[in-house]
Structure 1
Amino acid sequence: MLRFHPAERTIMLATAALAVACFVLAYLKDVGIEPWTFTATGIFAVVAIALGQFYRIVRDGERIALTAIAIGLFAPWTFVGWTYNILLLPRYAAPIDPILVQADALFGYSWPAICAWIAQYPQISELLRQVYNLTLVQLLFTFMFLGFALDRPRLHAAAMAMVLASLMTIFCWGMFPSNGASAYWTLDPAIDRIVRPVVDSSYGAELNRQLVEGVRSVSDVKATGLIGFPSFHTVMALMTLVAAWPYRIARLVLIVVNAALFPAILIHGGHNLMDVFGGVAVTLISWFLAVRIYGAQDAHEKARTGAALASSPVQAA
């Protein structure tokens, strides 16, 4: 019989529920979801979870089991969340980016200005580009670190916090759509050639079009993300730091990495400063909730296990 911890079952249930919502939305909106878009993710998830079950049941290797199952569950959740986000297109409310840009100005920040500044240092800009592209890898590394450290409380709290953060971010974007600073500003061509933002003005223009026109198929979306506010890259980065905080070496490494990631999110993520502030708020709220959910689930599991042992004739003898 397969063995799953409460947090793992919670993530599976959330993924299944959101997948059902995706198929309902796709049917109602007549948006195509091609099988090949999720086949690779599905195969990876099945293999990873099966490996985790093997080490949990047969080999008694909980370190590998925790790690493999966490990554195996996170992959389909990420895909389903991305698909659901796309299926919310089009959004009929006007983007809130003009408001966010005005709020940024109160702090003396503008995306074109920071891009113009970093254009003076192309090598630093390229380094920030690489850091930005490795944000998801950083999160997966943290999951692996906590799994092999056999720290189930922090691993499962982080995994559930990412689920909650995803839902909070999508809900916020659904109510108040935003595409980020790159969708509001157009960079000077000379600066654009030097900096080469990952999320540049042409990328932002395509997001603006999709926000109004929607899509006919999930595969039509070439963008890696639709959401400007709150910044989900900020959520992923801070979640790694919060989850690994008790481990001194990991904490110091992640502080250094995130110190570089913060300007990378602004420059190469094409974000408003308010997007980052929003990501910080989502991270803290989702972690607070996830820790308490994990605590309640763990207490319930221990109580149930204790009751089962007490009622066992072998244990009673």
Structure 2
Amino acid sequence: MTSLSGQSEAPSKLKLSWAHLLPPAWEKKVQDWLEEDCPSFDWGGYVVGEDVKQAKLWCKSRGVLAGVPFFDEVFKRLDCQVKWNFEEGQLLAEGGSPKVHVATVKGPARKILLGERVALNTLARCSGVATASQDFLSTARAAGYKGIVAGTRKTTPGFRIVEKYGMLVGGVDAHRYDLSSMVMLKDNHIWSTGSIPAAVSAARSACGFSMRIDVEVQSLEEAQQAIEAGADVVMLDNMVGQELVNNAKSLKEQFAQKHRFLIESSGGIDVRNIGSGQHVDDSIDIISTSSIHQSTKHVDFSLKLLPAPAEASSTGV
């Protein structure tokens, strides 16, 4: 099994679940989604009524199954039950399988259809992010990269928890979850403050020892300033190829015995250029990318009600 940071896990007796990471109030978001999708009358639900039915969840494209807690919560709130045939994190429809029976939903027909679109949209998006994350990580490892792969904060407003969750299921690090998770000083912070040392000093005076400070830099000289000022992470932004590798190695050689810091590579990184080795070197500790969750292809799921069984004739024939 792969750990949340993309590293191999040691054997454990504990049954770990990504769902255990979710905060106490995440279920409230599901209620908001349902209310958004049906703000007044449910015309279609009126047609089908409340007879108890079953529906099969089908996966019709290759993908990593992710978003199970969200799917479950949708139908839990609608008095339906879900039985899964696969575990979260498993790869579905690999090898060109036309479709895979992933789960069965049982409950009143009206309520199954009431939750159908919300549940499918969430599962499709989360699984798409997980699939892109796993593919990126696998490509990076095949190219020889041994460090951390992380997804950025360029997520969809109101849907961040689903997209960050998908990254974790896909095996990559979620980087910072929000503005409170880590101090990141980008170009605008530095320009507003006047200098990298001034920005780092001001940040440290507020966040104290318990928060890491990540500084975005555009050159080797700026990276040197950030490290000397006390940055915990130095992000070499939009550097590629030999320039990136040379700068990363130079910084490690210059400061390894003086300061503790991590080097991050970011900016325009996707599965194509990571596969070509443009950002691969042992001196680079972190590769952060938004390609695993922006413009990511959804996994194709559908939910189909099973037809009612044919009634026996009154004559018994």
TM range (shorter): under 0.3
Q: Which has the higher helix share?
A: 1
- Pick the structure with greater CA Rg: 2
TM-score of the superposed pair, with normalisation by structure 2? 0.26
Does 1 or 2 have the higher relative contact order (CA < 8 Å, sep 6+)? 1
TM-score of the superposed pair, with normalisation by structure 1? 0.26
Q: Which has the higher strand share?
A: 2
